[in-house]
Amino acid sequence: MKGLFPLLLATLSCCLLTGCFDLVEQIDMKQDGSGTIKATLNLSKSKTKVASLMQMKSVNGIKIPSQATVTSEVENAVKKLKATKGISNVQYSLDFTNFIATLSCNFTSIQALNEFSNTLSKQFNTKLISYNSYAYNRATRVFSRSYTYAPDIAKQFAKIPSEDRQLFKDAYYTNIIRFEHAIQSQVNKSAKVSSNNKAVLLKIPATNLINGSTTLANTITLTK
């Protein structure tokens, strides 16, 4: 799941072993290209199992991160984000009772939004920026997201016992992008436009991303 959101990497081991989780990204775009992004990783459906797993050092060769490790990794990422040009108001929360983690910030431009991904890619040693990037043309009011499927995700998933892979049927990735202007069109067949015509919702099973059957790429055209 490395290409989705780096916060997931800190608890990836638990996700792989519990299967049941929700990852939600929310982006609010302003007309000038600035905005906010918030990501939430929710493992509360499996909190009892996650709590048990985190008492162990490893399971079936998979290293289990401790609360201290997760906290340290996220705090280091937050520190670097605060020093990233165009990024401000960086906030995070880690709930080790319900196992819900959030990370949010403001960005001044689409370039800053991509720097958000780039900074986290370096922190977590993953190629996030090559998998995912955004573009926005203020003149044409076209917002786009590029996404490249990484086959190594499926290879890692295949190493998990088949009975554990079945657990992923309840794991979902959700992306919500809101705009100030109405949406004229969008091209992702799996996405839906909200009733007020100002947001695009993409909710897909994690297995679709793992096997590459669904893309995150989209081109959204706003009304002028």
Measured CA to CA, the distance from residue 49 to residue 69 in angstroms comes to 18
> Tell me: the pLDDT tens digits for 57-98?
666 566 677 788 888 888 888 999 999 999 999 999 999 888
Sheet containing 22-29: which strands, arranged edge to edge? 87-95, 100-107, 35-42, 22-29, 172-178, 199-205, 192-193
**What is the percent of the chain with per-residue pLDDT over 70, rounded to a whole number?**
82
Beta bridge partners of 146: 133
Q: What is the pTM assigned to this prediction? A: 0.86
Measured CA to CA, the distance from residue 21 to residue 173 in angstroms comes to 9
Mean pLDDT of the chain: 82
